[in-house]
Amino acid sequence: MKKFLKKTIWISLICFYFFQIEIVRAIVPYYYFPSIKNLKKQSLNIGKNAYQLLYFGQYEDSLNLAKLAIKINAKDEKLWLILAEAQIANKKYKNALNSLNEAEQINSNISEIYFAKSNVYLKISQQAKAKIALEKGIKIEPNNYKAIFQLGNIFLMEKNYLGAIKLFDKSIKIKPDFWQAINNQGLAYFERNNINLSIKLFESAILIEENAEPLLGLASCLNIHDNELAIQLARKALAKDPKYVNYDYRKEQLWGEKLQVSTEILLQNEQLKKDVILAKSKINESS
């Protein structure tokens, strides 16, 4: 009986102990603390979602998600780059530059950081800084034909036509069918009064891509010697992209003063009057 009583007491104590543990578990909730690895994975997923929203034009939502990703993981340069892209899309250029500086501090050997910086500097009309940023990026990625082309465009803005031509040529050597660089060589050569070479370059660009810009550029080159063909080409250009009827728009596309004057003379031709009016009306409709 005594042994039985002892055994009963021990069993009761053990049961009481486990019962108390269950009570404690019922009162104190169990928390899951994610590992650093899981946190990084989640931040990257959020960053990817932010980038997708950016692609679909949901700029504000993209910015909010990118900010959240950075709060979770501020040590990933890719997330800072995504945040910068979202800030650029939302026209928060100063914030974008700060984000790109953060990315650079983490990893200064990523060309995209400097290309993005150049983009921001161009938007805020700081060409000298844009040029420096591009040159840094190209040192890291010397075969990036788009970056070389953009650097050539800055030289074109500065009216350094020979420098621009050399850079466009370098870009074309990397990508021979890059019609934009061929076209912009035509723009540069026209300002240097080499009209015949401009004609050849615009024609070469058109063979790759029958775009409104080289079509109108070629029309402006041919206007003096072959007015009939120039009018045909101008009509085709304005039909493809009415915005090229606008002087300021062409200036945005880096057309120099000499080509602008030649184009204005062409567009004042009586035979193009209806085409010019139609193009302007299309611009007004879309604005």
pLDDT digits (tens, 9 = 90+) for 84-128: 999 999 999 999 999 999 999 999 999 999 999 999 999 999 999
- Assigned domain for 9 exists: no
Residue 9 has pLDDT above 70, yes or no: no
Q: Domain for residue 260, yes or no?
A: yes
Q: What is the pLDDT of residue 285?
A: 85
Mean pLDDT of 225-230: 96
Amino acid 35: pLDDT = 59
Question: In whole angstroms, what is the distance from residue 255 CA to residue 243 CA?
Answer: 13
Q: How many domains does the chain have?
A: 1
Inside any domain, residue 169: no
CB neighbour list of residue 100: distance below 8 Å, 6 or more residues apart: 80, 81, 84, 113, 116, 117, 120
Going by C-alpha positions, the residue among 81, 45, 76, 49 that lies closest to residue 64 is 49
Residue 8 lies in a domain: no
pLDDT at 29: 52
Q: For residue 163, tell me if it sits in a domain.
A: no
Q: pTM for this structure?
A: 0.84
pLDDT for position 257: 98
pLDDT for 4? 41
- Cβ within 8 Å of residue 12, ≥6 positions away: none
Pairwise pLDDT comparison (79 vs 23), residue with the higher score = 79
CATH number of the domain that residue 232 is part of: 1.25.40.10
- Identify the residue with better confidence: 14 or 203: 203
Q: Is 41 exposed, middle or buried (0-12, 13-18, 19+ CB in 10 A)?
A: middle
- What pLDDT score was predicted for residue 126? 96
Q: Which amino acid is at 11?
A: I
Domain that holds residue 194: 177-287
Distance CA 90, CA 66 (A): 12
Does residue 25 belong to any structural domain of this protein? no
Mean pLDDT within 136-149: 98
pLDDT at 204 over 60: yes
Does the residue 39 lie in any domain? Answer: no
Query: What is the DSSP track for 23-62?
Result: HHHHHS-------HHHHHHHHHHHHHHHHHHHHTT-HHHH
| Range of weakest confidence among 65-79, 137-151, 167-181 | 65-79
Mean pLDDT of the residues in the chain: 89
Q: Is residue 217 part of a domain?
A: yes
For residue 22, is pLDDT > 50?
A: no
Position 27 pLDDT exceeds 70:
no
